[in-house]
Amino acid sequence: MDCIFCKIAAGEIPSTKVFENDKIVAFKDLNPQAPVHLLVIPREHIASADEVNADNALSIAEIFKNIPSIAADAGLTNGYRIITNIGEDGCQSVKHMHFHILGGTKLAERMC
């Protein structure tokens, strides 16, 4: 499968990783939309949050278990936003589930 985030998880293409363990990887977004813009992905290929099921739900738990410390390490002491885009209408450009962590400033109130 030609998936850019699988390749980042495998270390086959470069990224600025800020956290990794056996199940998930967090790295800096190449095109940041806030002073802090990280992406958190499962190592296993899940196309989007719409593909979460009983067999792969532990990846979600692992991501959310680690987000507080990933955010704290990034200096996000005053709040942040987590976004996951899904499919065409959600403007998902990379078809490997990822959670954006955005912060480091007061974010816009509008979400769309």
Question: Minimum Å distance from CB 5 to ligand AMP?
Answer: 8
In this structure, what DSSP letter does residue 7 have? H
> Following DSSP, what letter does each residue of 24-40 receive, concatenated?
EEEEE-SS-SSSEEEEE
Q: Quick one: which segment of 49-57, 67-75, 92-100, 103-111 binds ligand AMP (CB under 6 A)?
A: 92-100
Quick note: the x/- pattern for ligand AMP over 6-45, rule CB under 6 A, is ---------x-------------xxx-------x------
Smallest Cα–Cα separation from 85: which of 33, 50, 34?
A: 50
When asked if residue 92 is in the footprint of ligand AMP (CB under 6 A), the reply is yes
Q: What is the 3-state secondary structure (H, E, C) of 51-72?
A: HCCCCCHHHHHHHHHHHHHHHH
Q: Give the three-class secondary structure for 20.
A: strand
Q: Active site includes 100?
A: no
Catalytic one of 45, 96, 98, 100: 98
Residue 40, burial from CB neighbour count under 10 angstroms (0-12, 13-18, 19+): buried
Quote the least distance from Cβ 62 to ligand AMP, whole Å.
19
Task: Between 59 and 92, name the residue whose CB sits nearer to ligand AMP.
Answer: 92
Residues that bind Zn ion (CB under 5 A): 3, 5-6, 45, 96
> Which residues are catalytic, by number?
98
